[in-house]
């Protein structure tokens, strides 16, 4: 399996409306804990900071935030570079309890309590739209709608993924249940039911395994992102960047679009 393997859009449990919110939260809690512990977005701290500067904004509107915890480490790093930064969490299935837990740990965080669809973001939410490990959830036509909505509203957008369709990513996903078992006792807020559905009834490790493999198979390559952008109306009104940076655990693939009329070099 390599980067040129055809994209396969199998189903993820997290995407299903019938999937219990409790279990969805436990899966996203794990992903966010791991993101902070391993500092997976370390290679793109400067990239995000530069994007904010070029977009002439200090506000980040994070789409598909899960519980928001995945941005704790990254938020602190960005704050060190710009004390005025503000990050607002949004999600189609907002985890209010997790949002509250995360926002209580830093005054740079806030959250939107109502469901927000990345394909149709309210016009009053202005700032750099970010998507961390969430863009692969969208099929090509839906992915275009996410990008087109940013263009139509003249809002910059930055998309980040930490896996691809290559063998190393698949192997990492196959080992993910071990990470779930090892880290669950340290995830906060503490929940007895989290332990039950991890160790006694191991639903969470199995969901992480399945959704992780599917996520890798769904991820768009840089070339595919270029192809998506090239089909959009008025795409030339934005400055676009498609790139990839190495990290301690692999790499971060990213796509960035900034409206030319607010672009500051």
- Express each pLDDT in 204-238 by its tens digit: 999 999 999 999 999 999 999 999 999 999 999 99
Say if CB 137 and CB 161 are below 8 A apart. no
Nearest Cα neighbor of 155 from 185, 118, 188 is 118
C-beta atoms surrounding 97 within 10 Å: 12
Token pair belonging to 32: 């966010």
Phi, psi of 87 (to 5 degrees): -125, 120
pLDDT tens string 169-207: 999 999 999 999 999 999 988 899 999 999 999 999 999
At 214 the three-state DSSP class reads helix
pTM: 0.92
Kindly list the structural domains of the chain, giving each domain's residue range(s) and its CATH number in brackets, ordered by start.
13-262 (3.40.50.150)
Exposure b/e, 135-158, CB count within 10 A at least 16 = b: bbbbeeeebbbbbbbbbbbebbbb
């Amino acid at each position: 399996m390599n980067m040129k393997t055809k994209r396969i859009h199998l189903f993820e449990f997290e995407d299903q409306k019938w999937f219990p919110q409790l279990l969805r939260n436990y899966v996203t809690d794990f992903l966010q804990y791991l993101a902070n512990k391993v500092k997976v977005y370390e290679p793109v701290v400067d990239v995000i900071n530069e994007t904010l500067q070029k977009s002439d904004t200090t506000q980040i509107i994070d789409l598909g935030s899960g519980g928001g915890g995945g941005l704790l480490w990254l938020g602190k790093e960005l704050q060190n570079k710009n004390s005025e930064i503000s990050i607002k969490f949004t999600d189609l299935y907002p985890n209010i309890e997790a949002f509250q837990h995360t926002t209580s740990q830093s005054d740079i965080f806030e959250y939107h309590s109502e469901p927000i669809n990345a394909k149709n973001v309210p016009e009053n939410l202005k700032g750099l739209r970010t998507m961390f490990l969430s863009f692969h959830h969208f099929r090509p036509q839906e992915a275009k709608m996410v990008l087109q909505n940013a263009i139509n509203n003249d809002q910059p957008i930055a998309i980040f993924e930490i896996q691809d369709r290559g063998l190393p990513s698949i192997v990492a996903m196959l080992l993910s249940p071990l990470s779930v078992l090892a880290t669950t006792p340290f995830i906060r807020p503490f929940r007895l039911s989290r332990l039950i559905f991890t160790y006694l009834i191991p639903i969470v490790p199995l969901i992480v395994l399945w959704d992780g493999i599917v996520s890798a198979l769904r991820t768009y390559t840089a070339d595919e992102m270029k192809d998506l952008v090239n089909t959009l109306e008025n795409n030339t009104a934005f400055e676009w960047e498609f790139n990839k940076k190495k990290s301690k655990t692999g790499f971060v693939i990213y796509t960035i679009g900034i409206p030319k009329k607010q672009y500051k070099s």
